[in-house]
Structure 1
Amino acid sequence: MNATPPAYELLFQALHLQGRALSFPCDAEGHVDLDGLPEQARLNYLYARVVVGHEFAWPVVRAVVLH
């Protein structure tokens, strides 16, 4: 039986707006393939990294359940 490897996302949770977050596909170590992201997602990722500690919490890597 071939098991599908788990997928991961890098999650930036908003500090001031409950329920707001940005997430991006990544590997188990949290590395995001910037070249594989659509332009708007790439801009959102770069923005989230710049405002960590001000608008977003430090990102966490979490497994994503694929259906």
Structure 2
Amino acid sequence: MNAFADAGLAARYQLRFESLFQQGRALAFPCDAQGRVAMDTLSERARCNYLYARAVVGREYATPAVVPDFLS
């Protein structure tokens, strides 16, 4: 099972970091309704991208938003 299922959470949302400089460019990660990302479920590359996006909020990416994940 993944961390969302273990915690009784459903990954029906995305935590979305929009680029400040390139319209349409964003990084998105599965999360719960409160924006919590289960980092243990991410691939190594996704985990690195998530940590990077968090580190550059306000410089390269806007404050993230929790949005519905229409692909789930």
How many aligned residue pairs are there? 63
Query: TM-score normalised to the size of structure 2?
Result: 0.82
Identity of aligned residues (%): 56
CA RMSD across the alignment:
1.5
Residues 1-67 of structure 1: pairs in structure 2 closer than 5 A? 7-66=12-71
Q: Which structure: larger Rg? A: 1
Q: Secondary structure at the match of 2:51?
A: helix
Structure in which a larger fraction of residues adopt strand: 1
Residue type of the alignment partner of 1:59: P
Structure in which a larger fraction of residues adopt helix: 2
The gaps in structure 2 that reach 5 residues or longer are: 1-9
Q: Secondary structure at the match of 1:41?
A: helix
Query: TM-score normalised to the size of structure 1?
Result: 0.87
Runs of 4+ more than 4 Å apart: none
The gaps in structure 1 that reach 5 residues or longer are: none
